[in-house]
Amino acid sequence: MDPIHHALPRPAAARAPSSNQDRASSHVNLAGILRERLLRPRFQPVVDLSHSRVYGHESLIRGPADTALHFPDALFAEARRQGLHPQLELASFRAGAQGFERHDAAGMLFLNLSGSALIHYWTLWGEEMPRRLLKDCELAPSSIIVELTEQDPLSEYMDEVASAFACLREYGMRVALDDYGVGNSNLQLWAEMQPDLVKIDRYFFDGIGQDARKQNMVRAILKVAQHLGTAVVAEGIETAEDLAVVRELDIRYAQGWFLGRPEEMLLTELAPPLRDSLRVRAPASAPQRAVGGTAASLRVEAPAALLPAHTNDDVHRLFIEHKDRHAVAVVDADNRPVGIINRRDFLEHYAQRYTRELFGRDACSTFMNAEPVLVDLNVSIDQLSHVLISEDQRYLMDGLIITRDGRYDGLATGETLVRSVTEMRIEAARYANPLTSLPGNIPISRHIATLLEDADDFTICYGDLNNFKPFNDVYGYWRGDDMIMLTAEVIKRHCDPQRDFVGHVGGDDFVVLLRSPDWMERARRIIAEFNERAIALYDDEGRRNGGIEAEDRYGVPRFFPFVTLGVGALTVTPSLCERIRPEDIASAAAHVKHKVKHGNLSLVTERYAGAPLPQLNS
């Protein structure tokens, strides 16, 4: 949603058109704007905070400049007054798609449709709706996310909305709910429509850094998102303090004027100051966590070098006296860190001929890294996980400088950071996968236990990806993440949220617990759609060749065909499973999955009776 609706005071031109504007607008009415195609898109970035990159852009429409219908609130209000809002929304949708295509942009494109416009065009066009929405635009449908805006109450039209969503998804598009928490975006719509993303309204993030009530409300929404397996976008981020809380809440995607304003040109990468600020976070004004979960647990006491008093010779003596020190922090007269000196690099310099004679009495800043990673004592380990994926990897050798209220307090090594983050992620992943937000091992086991207590049969499907490792090796982990997210999206699309449960064990392993009677047909549709859409994640050469060249596990180069999804399905009758533990069911399902792998099959099904039985079909 365009922040101009809510955030900053509207420019005077938008509130009270001048006489010049009146004269200009007299020649440009809404019908003329639509007829002459005078709408112009502005593109606001949606940022992936986890990877410090632009994830996509939302298209926000503008009418002709210097007219009363330039800003979207006036434009859409006039369209509703005249009964032309479906036509305006269609024209805006197409203008955004065509503008995005002209820029040859990468990433996702968010395009808005109200519920009434969606139902209007679904009723008018039926299965042709996605193609007609795009008209002559040749954007890949998989790059488009259709945002359902909040203007219209939809509780009476759930069947129509569900059919329209299904049509968009069948075409390859994704769907999102906009402005969740206000207007007509409600929990019923979320639960029944199972959107791919939900945008939480800016109301909840405006001043969230100082509002514990809003923080608790957002946490409650995030619990719903985690349970339903839905990615979340924080809207209306306009201050560094609010962004810090968003990251503290572990929300992956965000949008707002602080991250990027709506512009004619698309933002291809974040500005360096913002990108750098995303690497390390200052503590948000939220309650401090236990010391064991903060940077304090990484800290070791270590003497620092003082500028300008200490020389390179002083640093050399310090390293000789403290043989276990990996680095020395350099501080100013106020004990504020200004740099860090890596032990190995420094001693290599000092071992060279004449270095000591030339530089020994110089200030100790000669060989220091003037851009160290600074971490406040109270920053959580969870926050520090973003350091691991930053572009600057020198922290692995230099370590980190721990501060207290901006002043030097100690050092931490890159090794202890990596170990602490890894341990934390392993524990957290048992409850929810950090990439897909789907339930992890513990919720999966609990759900199996619940199903075992019921009388009805259920089927546990264990799926993983064939040829995923070479794909990840060749294209990198970002593209690998996209493949994992695609898997989650496709699985959720074909599951009934009222009956079925989707979990993510980790990596490319997914567990789905199905009570839908047509579970086998659902599994087949999941496999077919994934196998088709996964091809789009390869580059042109890979698509032409039907796969990629990569090294196998023995280091031997060979050809790997496209990544595909394999599923092992195990049907369970609870009445036959007395004294059977959830982990026994999970192990039996994994056994069926291995048959899929070793048999090079797409689907193997068995019935559980305490031990795996012969294969039924594939």
pLDDT (average), residues 220-227: 85
Residue of higher predicted confidence among 118 and 383: 118
The answer to whether residues 433 and 502 touch, using CB atoms and an 8 Å cutoff, is no
The number of residues making up the chain comes to: 618
Which helix (H) or strand (E) element contains residue 472?
helix 468-475
Q: Specify the CATH number for 3-279; select among 3.30.110.40, 3.20.20.450, 1.20.1740.10, 3.60.21.10.
A: 3.20.20.450
> What average pLDDT does the structure give for the chain?
85
Of 171-185, 417-431, 572-586, least confident by mean pLDDT is 417-431
pLDDT tens digits, 299-334: 888 889 888 889 999 999 999 988 888 999 999 998
Residues pairing with 59 in the sheet: 43
Cβ neighbours, 10 Å, residue 434: 17
Tens-digit pLDDT profile for residues 343-380: 999 999 999 989 889 999 999 999 999 888 888 888 87
pLDDT tens digits, one per residue of 227-258: 787 889 999 999 988 998 898 888 989 999 99
User: How much is the pLDDT for 16?
Assistant: 39
Q: Is 153 left (phi over 0), alpha (psi -120 to 50) or beta?
A: beta
> Quick one: pLDDT at residue 526?
97
The predicted model gives 417-421 an average pLDDT of 83
Q: What is the tens place of the pLDDT at every residue in 388-413?
A: 666 667 767 888 899 998 899 999 98
Q: Please give the average per-residue pLDDT across 565-573, as a whole number.
A: 95
* Token output for 172: 């390859």
Comparing 86-100, 118-132, 266-280, the range with the smallest average pLDDT is 266-280
Average pLDDT, integer, range 210-222:
88
Mean pLDDT of 428-454: 82
Asked if residue 183 has pLDDT above 70, the reply is no
pLDDT tens track for 145-169: 999 986 667 778 889 999 999 999 9
Q: Map residue 135 onto helix, strand or coil.
A: coil
Reduced to 3 DSSP states, what percent helix, strand and coil does the chain have, rounded to the nearest 5? 45, 20, 35
Mean pLDDT across 591-597: 92
| Range scoring the smallest mean pLDDT among 148-162, 357-371, 442-456, 472-486 | 148-162
**pLDDT grade for 385, boundaries at 50, 70 and 90:** low
| pLDDT in the model for residue 160 | 92
pLDDT band per the 50, 70, 90 thresholds, residue 610: low
Architecture of domain 291-423: Roll (3.10)
Quick check: 46 pLDDT over 90? yes
Q: What is the pLDDT of residue 250?
A: 84
Note the pLDDT tens digit of each residue in 6-17. 333 333 333 334
Q: Which of 64-68, 190-194, 275-279 has the lowest mean pLDDT?
A: 275-279
Distance CA 148, CA 462 (A): 33
The CB-side HSE value for 197 (13 A sphere, CA atoms) comes to 32
| Residue with more model confidence, 596 or 223 | 596
Domain boundaries, the chain: 3-279, 291-423, 430-608
Provide the sign of the torsion angle of the four alpha carbons 533, 538, 539, 542, taken in this order.
negative
Contact status, residue 538 vs residue 562, Cβ threshold 8 Å: yes
Place of tokens 């200052």: 282
611 pLDDT exceeds 60?
no
**pLDDT, tens digit, 9 for 90 and up, residues 500-539:** 999 999 899 999 999 999 999 999 999 999 999 999 999 9
Report the pLDDT value the prediction gives residue 286, as an integer from 0 to 100.
36
pLDDT score at 157: 83
466 pLDDT more than 80: yes
**Rounded percentage of the chain residues whose pLDDT exceeds 70:** 88
Which residues lie closer than 8 Å to 423 by C-beta, 6 or more apart?
none
For tokens 């990484």, the residue is 298
Fold of 430-608: Alpha-Beta Plaits (3.30.70)
| pLDDT confidence of residue 499 | 85
For residue 615, the model assigns a pLDDT of: 43
- Give Cα 524 distance to the centre of its chain: 27
SS3 track for 19-48: HHHHHHHHCCCHHHHHHCCCCEEEEEEEEE
Between 579 and 572, the higher pLDDT residue: 572
Arithmetic mean of pLDDT, 214-238: 88
Closest to 338 measured CA to CA, from 298, 366, 300, 297: 366
**Coil/strand/helix, residue 599:** helix
Average pLDDT over residues 447-451: 89
Q: What share of the chain in percent tops pLDDT 90? A: 51
Distance between CA atoms of 462 and 568, rounded to whole angstroms?
5
Phi, psi dihedral angles at 113 (to 5 degrees):
-145, 135
Q: H/E element holding 526? A: helix 519-534
